[in-house]
Structure 1
Amino acid sequence: MRRLPLLLAGFLLLATACTTTSPDPGPAPDAKRAEERWRPKPGLAWQWQLSGRLDPTVDVPVYDIDGFEHPASAVKDLHARGRKVICYLSTGAWEDFRPDADRFPKALLGRGNGWEGERWLDIRRTDVLGPLMAERLDMCRDKGFDAVEPDNMDGYKNTTGFPLTAADQLRYNRLIARLAHERGLAVGLKNDLDQIPELLADFDFAVNEQCAQYEECDLLTPFVKAGKAVFHVEYELATGRFCPEARELGLSSMRKRYELGVWRQPC
């Protein structure tokens, strides 16, 4: 007489199990990375090495290295040493020595930017450059980098061979920032001091060359006031000439040689 209620209960449990909504799997991996991305604070010491054999032993919390030249194992090793690692990429200029160089249409290549084998890009062509840069940022993400330093982000201020405007530059820089954030990467604004007020909200930190030499370091203070690091180098000034101001402004400053090898003189 008790078996019928037990069977009914069993059927009810089975029906409930079949109709229960599946647990929310949570955000997609890249969305989760975007929420958890690194946000460097002012005052962090750093090493910027783009040439020579990588020396991972400099006792600083942040490394900035070439994204193409170094494998995932180098990033992993730096992480094991307690470093955050920034992926250096040129996003505003074409480089003839990169493995994807032949994928850039010749019509997008402008005048030389002063470095051998490099030419400015027509950043107005986001329909072409967007997918190419997305793939480069995929590389940074897949190698395990924490952030990206997109270089040559101020073409509109240079003689590029294209009639680039400030609006063109803002649009392109914001595109690069969005693509980086979608992949969970922090992104730094490289130079482009005049557009800091418009771009501060889009970038997580700044990277600057020679603001002291050109008496422009005060233009970077909005980043520091917003709690965002400014990674700064000088090449021609002695540390005694720029470090006092750099410390006062909250910049992460050091002296480097132009080839950006291992050598450094921190403030």
Structure 2
Amino acid sequence: MKDIRFFLLFVMVTVTLIGCGGSDEQTQTDDEVVIAPPQGFPPPLSTWQWQLKGSVNDEYDVFVYDIDLFVNSPEIISDLQTQGRFVVCYFSAGTYEPYRPDSELFIDEDFGNALEVFDQERWLNTRSEHVREIMKSRMQLAKEKGCDAVEPDNMDAHINDNGLGLSAEDTIDYSIFIAEYAKGLDLYVGMKNNVGLTDELAQYYDFAINESCYRFSECHLLAPFYENNKAVFHVEYLSVADVGDGKLDEVCAQTKSLGISTLVLPVLLDDAYRFSCDD
């Protein structure tokens, strides 16, 4: 537990732990009952919402909210927490985004190739101490804003045409650096995608966030998380028509049995629609 608030949050989600096979071991003294902390936090099969665009819709009855670090104020984060939410703050740890408020801090030597899909973004040289100092500042910002956890994105340069010669070993080294620094700030940290390195990295991360593991037949690669009582938050990008045709039921049948919390969302993550395996 990080502080007394997480003790209260744990009590709120105890039923979730019981539902997915967790236990609430208790030891009792003459004056009090001590509840043992969960093995994984946030707990497996926690309900969640992921919104990175637009004003945050706080009306979903879920435990975890994953929102953008830069565009959301400390007040928004505090309001979510007052409602009993666990707040994860998103930032890109592996790419340059020109529209971020700290983008002018990067230098030419930091940049690799443009991303294949988002051509305004560039892969970053994650071996660079300069890049790592900027990422430390981003995680410090998350701490200052009151985030409970961070979601460092784009940590898989080694499987992309990064233009920097970044290898799997570089990714592992950088991922461990990010995780350890976040934990040093008393933040929880989630592994984003990067399923090919789950065996190497799961021990350093508190939970996982995944895009499209069902589509790419990769959900089983997240076993080092869900088999060790660590939450996996997963999204499939299906259309409303796909959901109406029964695709959501197919996805949920597989992922929920594994202990994975699945949403169907639009690619823009703008809350245009939302379907959940918990509905």
8 Å Cα contact 1:97/1:117 also seen in 2: no
Paired residue for 2:94? 92
TM value normalised by structure 2: 0.81
> Identity over aligned residues, as a percent?
40
Partners of 1:174 and 1:222 lie apart in 2 by 16
Letter in 2 for 1:172: Y
Question: 1:153-192 alignment to 2 at 5 Å?
Answer: 153-192=155-194
Partners of 1:228 and 1:65 lie apart in 2 by 20
**Which of residues 22, 39, 42 is equivalent to 1:40?**
42
Paired residue for 1:25? none
Paired residue for 1:117? 120
8 Å Cα contact 1:51/1:260 also seen in 2: yes
Q: Name the CA shift for 1:131/1:158 in 2 (closer, same or farther; >3 Å).
A: same
Letter in 1 for 2:254: E
Deviation per CA, 1:28-68, whole angstroms, max 9, x where unpaired? xxxx77xx798212100100000112111111000000000
Partners of 1:195 and 1:189 lie apart in 2 by 10
| Partner-residue secondary structure (3-state), 2:50 | strand
Paired residue for 2:197? 195
Partners of 1:259 and 1:163 lie apart in 2 by 30
Partners of 2:169 and 2:224 lie apart in 1 by 21
Partners of 2:65 and 2:145 lie apart in 1 by 14
Partners of 1:68 and 1:116 lie apart in 2 by 21
Partners of 1:147 and 1:227 lie apart in 2 by 17
Paired residue for 1:79? 81
Question: 1:180-259 alignment to 2 at 5 Å?
Answer: 180-236=182-238, 238-259=247-268
Runs of 4+ residues deviating >6 angstroms: none
Shift of 1:124: 1.6
Mind listing any 5+ residue stretches in structure 1 that lack a counterpart? 1-31
Partners of 1:150 and 1:89 lie apart in 2 by 5
Report the structure number with the largest CA radius of gyration. 1
Paired residue for 1:145? 147
Partners of 1:154 and 1:172 lie apart in 2 by 10
Letter in 2 for 1:189: M
| Partner-residue secondary structure (3-state), 2:229 | coil
Partners of 2:136 and 2:166 lie apart in 1 by 22
| Partner-residue secondary structure (3-state), 1:163 | coil
Shift of 1:225: 1.2
Letter in 2 for 1:118: E
8 Å Cα contact 1:109/1:121 also seen in 2: yes
Letter in 1 for 2:125: D
TM value normalised by structure 1: 0.84
| Partner-residue secondary structure (3-state), 1:39 | coil
Mind listing any 5+ residue stretches in structure 2 that lack a counterpart? 8-39
Partners of 2:119 and 2:202 lie apart in 1 by 31
8 Å Cα contact 1:191/1:208 also seen in 2: yes
Partners of 2:213 and 2:87 lie apart in 1 by 23
8 Å Cα contact 2:126/2:132 also seen in 1: no
Shift of 1:116: 4.7
Partners of 2:109 and 2:212 lie apart in 1 by 32
8 Å Cα contact 1:149/1:187 also seen in 2: yes
Shift of 1:258: 0.2
| Partner-residue secondary structure (3-state), 1:140 | helix
What is the aligned length? 233
Letter in 2 for 1:265: F
Paired residue for 2:270? 261
Partners of 1:147 and 1:62 lie apart in 2 by 10
